[in-house]
């Protein structure tokens, strides 16, 4: 018997029900996560900006 799961196509279910949070809140969180991220891209390389973690930011 074949694995039918692999043969199934993904269905886009966007906007089928009300979200737990608004799209604006979701986008704001994603932007904050990116701002706090320690990952930087240099050319084709992706690295950590530093080795020490601190929850302190410039805005604190």
Per-residue pLDDT band for 21 (boundaries 50, 70, 90) equals very high
More confident residue, 54 or 44: 44
pTM across the whole model: 0.49
pLDDT digits (tens, 9 = 90+) for 25-44: 999 999 999 888 888 888 88
Question: Can you give the pLDDT at residue 53?
Answer: 63
Per-residue pLDDT band for 46 (boundaries 50, 70, 90) equals confident
Distance between CA atoms of residues 49 and 39, nearest Å: 6
**Which among 40, 59, 43 has a CA at the least distance from the CA of 51?**
40
Structure tokens at 8: 């199934």
Question: Can you give the pLDDT at residue 26?
Answer: 93
Angle at 46 between CA 30 and CA 55, to 5 degrees: 50
């Amino acid at each position: 018997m074949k694995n039918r799961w692999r043969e199934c196509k993904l269905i886009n279910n966007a906007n089928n029900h009300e979200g737990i949070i608004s799209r604006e809140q979701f986008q704001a969180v994603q932007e904050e996560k990116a701002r706090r991220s320690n990952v930087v891209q240099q050319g084709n390389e992706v690295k950590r900006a530093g080795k020490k973690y601190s929850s302190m930011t410039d805005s604190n």
